[in-house]
Each structure stands twice: as structure tokens, then as C-alpha cells.
Amino acid sequence: MIPAERSLLRRILGSWSGWPLLAVVLVVAVLNALPLLLIEYPPFQDFGAHVQLLDAAAREGDPAYAYSQYVRPFDPLPLRPGTLSIFIAKALSPLMGGWGSGRLLLFLYGVLLPLSLFAVARAFGRSGWQALLACPLVYSRLLDQGFLDFLIGMPLLFAALAATGQLVHRRAFSWRWALALFGTLAALFLAHGLAFAFSAGLVAAVLVLRTRRPRDLVRFVPLLIVLVPFAIWMHKFLAGARGAGATHFFPPFRNSLRTFHDEALGMFHARLDERAEPGREARA
């Protein structure tokens, strides 16, 4: 027997679906991410370096700044990971510098992460209320470390998974969702190589598990197209990583097993509260 209170709650939550539920998730996601936009100096480890790079790209060629003496001009080709944020900064350069675009990207990450998980839940027939559970995960260790490119890749990762779910749950091939999958994977490739590798594995697994007929193989086309530039970039990356620096990117497998548990759990715990408390005491 289900308690009456739980049954009533289930009926109430179940009555909210579609656009009304999406509006609820959007409002909660925006309120949850507002500190990322309002805080004056985000205390994230690598964020300052990202802002400096974005500002150099946004003010490229401006004689009022000396970036040209120290930073090479941005070359969009060949397409490679780590450049999506630079493309966005250059597009926003008439409106703001790197400081503004960096904080805007942080805010968009905080809003789009729950929304992307809402899309995943709906694509696989689950309740969209589960997306609210992603709000606390916005303030994870990845944010604490300020990995901006990986952060903006996380919503794209889940968006690609949602597009895959929509694609495989249709009997006929859908060009709309195939293009959506291609677009999210392409943007994710430009955002961060490791995030793209994670997403490609998840997308490939879903496609394989849902392949029933030979004609279903056409669903792999969007993934295969984006895998081509990724393979070219990965080959160059591995060639450059050989030598003394290789152990930094590829530590021994035994060391990875030894530290995996602590590192994995650490991703869900940031020290932002420990940083905030001394600041609040100092202001008091």
C-alpha cells in the first residue's frame, strides 16, 4: 500500500509536465546559478587564466592593449578542442571583454546543466523533476578548479545524450534529431577533448544497444563525422605528448586505480563553503 500523502504528492508532481515543468526547472536553474553571475571575483582556480585568454582574443588587434606583444593571434583552423570559448569571446567582443564573456559562460553553464538533464530525462521517458537534482552538482569540484572549457562542455555532453535518445526512440530516421546530435557533438568537440570522448562513448553505447535493423546504422553518421577531426587532433596530441611530458597526461594504470575513488568522490565536493566562511567572518 502507498501512503495517502505519497500518493497525493505523486499525483501533484505527475500533473506537471511539458512546458510548465520546463518553466519550473528553468526558474530554479537560473536562481541557482545567479551567484556565478553576481559574485565580483569568482574564486575558482583556473578561471583567471581562462579570462585572460578570452580577453586577449576579444581585444585582438586593439592598439590600446599590449596583448599582441605576448599572445599569438587566434587561428581558428584547424578545428580543435578548447576553442569554443574563444569563438564565443570573439563573437561577443563588440559588447564585452574577456571578463564579461567568462562570467557569462559560467552562468550559462549553471543554467544549462539542469536543463540538459531535463532533456535527457524526457528523451528516455523519465520524470523531468529529476533535473532539479542537478542544481547542487553545479557547484562541484570542477567549478572549484575553474576548468571553464570542461564546464561549458558538460551541458553539451548531456544534450548530445538527449538528442541520441530522441533519435533512437523513433521508428523512422529523424534528420532533425540527427542534425541536433551532430551540432551538439561538434560544439562539444570544440569545447573540450576529454568531455567529447566521454560523450562519444555514451552516444555510441546507446546507438549500439538500440540497433535492431541494418537501416538503423545510419544513426551513427553524426557521430562518425565528428570523430574524424577528433581522431586527427588526438593523433597530433599523442605525438606531442610523447617524451618527458607523457606521464603527466597518461599516468601509470596502477596509480590511476589507486586514486580513482578519491578523485571521483572529490568531483562532487567543492571547498567553496570553506572559502566562503572566512570571507563572511572578515566582513562581519
pLDDT means per 10 residues, the chain with 284 residues, are 50 60 90 86 80 81 69 77 89 85 91 93 86 87 85 94 91 89 94 91 92 86 92 80 51 59 55 49 50
Q: What is the pLDDT of residue 244?
A: 46
Q: What is the pLDDT of residue 251?
A: 57
Rounded Cα–Cα distance for residues 239 and 3 (Å): 62
Report the greatest alpha carbon distance in the chain. Answer: 74
Q: What is the pLDDT of residue 277?
A: 47
Give the global pTM: 0.80
Q: What is the pLDDT of residue 268?
A: 53
For residue 72, give the C-alpha cell. 599569438
Q: What is the pLDDT of residue 161?
A: 94
Q: What is the pLDDT of residue 264?
A: 55
Task: List all residues 6 or more positions away from 135 whose beta carbon is below 8 Å from its beta carbon.
Answer: 28, 29, 32, 114
Q: What is the pLDDT of residue 250?
A: 52
Q: What is the pLDDT of residue 280?
A: 47
Q: What is the pLDDT of residue 213?
A: 83
